[in-house]
Amino acid sequence: MKKQLMEMLEARKDEMVQIRRYLHEHPELSFKEEKTAQYIADFYYGKDVEVQRNVGNGYGIIVTIKGGKPGKTIALRADFDALPILEETDLPFKSKNEGVMHACAHDGHTAYLMILADCLIQLKEEIPGTIKIIHQHAEEVPPGGAKSIIDSGTLHDVDNIFGIHLLPMAPAGHVGYHCGFSFAGRSYFKLGIQGVGGHGSSPHMANDSIVAGSYLVTAIQTIISRRLNPFDMGVITIGSFDGKGTFNVIKDRVEIEGDIRYMTMETKEIIETEVRRIVSGIEEEFGVQCELIYTSDYPPLYNNPDVTAEVKASLESANDPDIKEVVEYPMMSPSDDFAYYLEKIPGCYFYIGCTPKGVEKPFFNHHPKFDIDEDALIVAAKSVGYVVCGYFGLD
């Protein structure tokens, strides 16, 4: 079956590219992917599978492939939402929805999985178990789609789960993996600092919110340098400081927004505690009023070591010319709501190189000029296909 599956995938490589390009032209934002979901559902229409729509808190789709023999159940996931980014590429199939772009390769994720799923449907009588295909909405915007799909109960019978992400860290043909904590967790905060406005010539008659906010920008970095164990990963980024006013007017209010990353839940708790402590201290020291919104988005992503070892073994034994190298990647600081699946279901999230040919310094995910080498689509399909065959012991 393994040989047959790979031949089927190779024969449909161009179709993967066509699907990816169609989705790239027609991106939709998180929780608004109505037409994308319809396109995916139409693809499965008339096939011998169960299709569940509107799963979770949006347009999630689960396609259940019941094998011809009893056995375990696995899930394969691909996300299909886009980003609020104005595309700056010169691609002939660039986004037709101005200000919306597939800048994180979710179009590629969806394209490879649709074709892989269709091939598995045709071969399902040989499969000793069940495969659930998760086409997930809203990965980019918290609370995301993953947690709601889990909470829906539709994955209660899944034994293991797998997913991939296209990353331009290596050329097509390179596959990466990492055991244990692999992607960072993420939190968000928004802080409003209310002072007293006044004339620039008379600061003693005002209470400058910009000074208080500037102190916070500096002080909050001491959490990373002085409160965390030097061997623990933590990042605090102040992404927005909204204090624009007039040059000779003391600003009465500023708003600050920040992004926080961490690799363990213990680090998450330390950072949140210290942020709240510093905010309270600023209120006391500067005599301002602070309004803090602090939310936890996605948890750290943990790849089960045993499952990841099996993935590695399946890929290394593939002996496939499209899979040129299988390498261990370091921990990385991006976040992904696939982490919610892995909190409940042992699994592995691994990486497919996609650096465009001839490009030495590719634009990373979320950049308006982001693009992929479309040869990575067949690599993704084959890689996950080998993992499925290895899992079910199919030669």
Cα dihedral 146, 149, 150, 153, rounded to 10, equals 180
Q: Tell me which of 81, 140, 320, 373 is the catalytic residue.
A: 81
Residues with Cβ within 8 Å of 35's Cβ and at least 6 positions away in sequence, in order, are 26, 28
H/E stretch holding 166: strand 160-171
Tell me if residue 81 is catalytic.
yes
Angle (CA) 106-109-110 rounded to 5° is 90
Asked if residues 120 and 49 have their Cβ atoms less than 8 Å apart, the reply is no
H/E stretch holding 146: helix 146-151
User: DSSP state, 204?
Assistant: G
Of 302, 225, 312, nearest in space to 271 by CA: 225
Tell me if residue 269 is catalytic.
no
Of 85, 152, 162, 124, nearest in space to 370 by CA: 85
Angle (CA) 353-168-142 rounded to 5° is 105
Alpha carbons within 13 angstroms on the beta-carbon side of residue 261 total 15
209-219 vs 265-286: helix crossing angle, rounded to 10 = 150
Q: Tell me which of 87, 139, 208, 274 is the catalytic residue.
A: 139
Q: How many Å is the maximal CA-CA distance in the chain?
A: 82
* Conformational region of residue 181, where left means phi above 0, alpha means psi within -120 to 50, and beta covers everything else: beta
3-state secondary structure of 274: helix
Asked if residues 214 and 311 have their Cβ atoms less than 8 Å apart, the reply is no
| Beta bridge partners of residue 65, listed in sequence order | 131
What single-letter amino acid sits at 139? E
178: Cα separation from own chain's centroid: 16
Asked if residues 257 and 188 have their Cβ atoms less than 8 Å apart, the reply is yes
Cα dihedral 62, 63, 68, 71, rounded to 10, equals -20
Angle (CA) 344-346-350 rounded to 5° is 115
Provide the annotated active-site residues: 81, 139
